[in-house]
Every structure is written in structure tokens, then in C-alpha cells.
Chains A and B, each alone.
Chain A
Amino acid sequence: MPIIRVTRKQIEAATKARESALKKDDDFRRHEEQRQRFEETAKAREAALQKELKAAAARKEEQPS
């Protein structure tokens, strides 16, 4: 199987490059801001779902057999 190594140095360089692109490129910044809004919504939805699943599991456990 092909193996690709991604080093810490590459991740640091990518972080800096992204920050620089966000400052320089309005179109990229708009795209990233939109993505971050999607992600906040997705996180909230996922957290609510997990809470609901936990509550359902707790209710099931409490039921007399």
C-alpha cells in the first residue's frame, strides 16, 4: 500500500500558508467563513444527536424488564 508521510513541519507550513491566504484573498476568506458556519451548525446538530441518543439509552436502562 502506498504510504504518504505528513510531517509536523508540513502542517505548520500549511497553517501559516492558510493564514496568509485568508489575509490576502477575499474570495478564499469568504469561502472559509461560509465553511466555518456550516461546521458550527454540523457540530451543534451532532452534539444534539449524541445527547438524544444518550438520553434514549438511559431511558431504556431505566425501564423495568
Chain B
Amino acid sequence: MSCLEATFTLTPQSPVYYASPNYASLYCYGADFEPWGPEDLSSLYASNRFYFNGSFACDPNLDYAQWANRKKARFLVSYISLLGYAAAYKQLALIFGFDVPFSSWPGRVLVYSNAGLIKDQELAYGDNQFLLEIESLDLGFNLYFLHAGGTWFFRGLSGYVV
């Protein structure tokens, strides 16, 4: 249980936050589903998750700051503009939630901005989140999460303005 309520939580079923002028959204450009559970479409909808199959991961050696490369990969992108908090010099703690079903095949995401790679992040089996600390909110920004390996589920993005 968290002692602080999230400012917003973006999930597959609830991908938009808007409290004018603050806005955040989540897009998914390519995820997978199988004919059987828990990776079938109905189960994924019910559990409010996206599924990424390791066979369709992107090549981690390409530069995904380039749209021509990025558009051929499977990725999530979040557009975040919290300009209403900028004057108060607030920061954002952003939690990326995930599940990894197999200990032998950890997930991997490349976290990108439009300018380049921020972090090549392993999604470890038994773990379920990682944290992004956003230093400044006086500009809107995009964060891309490219599916770069392993089999994993995306659960959501929660933002805490602090």
C-alpha cells in the first residue's frame, strides 16, 4: 500500500489522464496475444495488461531515436505534460509496472527520449517495477519503452508529483 496517492495511473484500460492543464497519455504501438491464457486477448483485457512475446523483440543495437527505426519496433510511449506543477518546481516519480512470467527469460526494455537512449533496463523475474525520476516539469516530454527482449507483461505507469 502506498502512503501517497498517484497523481495519475495509465493502464491499457485507462490510458489518459487530464486535469487541465496537466495531461498524460499512454499509447501502445504493437503488443502480442496468443490463443490461450493468460496471454489471450480476453485474459489480457481482464487483467488490464499488455503482453510482449520475446520472439518479436526489437534489435537493441539500432538507434530508436530515429523514427524510421522506432516505427518498426514494438513500443509503448507516454506523453506527459504537467505544466501546472512547473512553477512550484515539482518533480515526477514515475513507476513502470510489469510482470515477468519466466525466470529463464527476463524482459528487457529500452527507455528512450526523442534525443536518444536513456537506459537499457532489464525486467527481472520476481521484480515488478522500476522508477524514473523526472527532474523538471516545465517542459512536456515523451518517454518511449521499446520491447527489446524476453517475455513480459506491462501493467501500467503511475506518476507521483513530489
Contact = CB atoms under 8 A, between A and B. Distances in A.
Identify the 6 closest CB pairs spanning chains A and B, nearest first.
A14-B113, A8-B136, A28-B67, A46-B18, A13-B115, A18-B114
Given A31-B67, A42-B16, A1 B113 contact: no
A61 interface: no
A11 interface: yes
B65 interface: yes
Contacts of A10: 113, 115, 118
B127 A43 contact: no
Nearest to B15: A42
Summarize A's interface: helix, strand, loop or mixed.
Answer: helix
A17 to B, nearest CB: 4
Nearest to B95: A1
Which one of A6, A10, A21 has the highest number of Cβ atoms from chain B below 10 Å of its Cβ? A6
Contacts of B114: 14-15, 17-18, 21
A3 B119 CA distance: 10
Given A14-B141, A43-B18, A1 B67 contact: no
Tell which of A14, A16, A17 has the most Cβ of chain B within 10 Å.
A14
Contacts of A16: 115
A4 B79 contact: no
B27 A35 contact: yes
Interface in A5-30: 5-8, 10-18, 21, 25, 27-28
Given A28-B67, A31-B71, A43-B23, A3 B133 contact: yes
Interface in B62-87: 65, 67-68, 71, 79
A42 B18 contact: yes
A6 B133 contact: yes
B88 to A, nearest CB: 15
A27 B67 CA distance: 8
B103 interface: no
A25 B141 CA distance: 19
B134 to A, nearest CB: 5
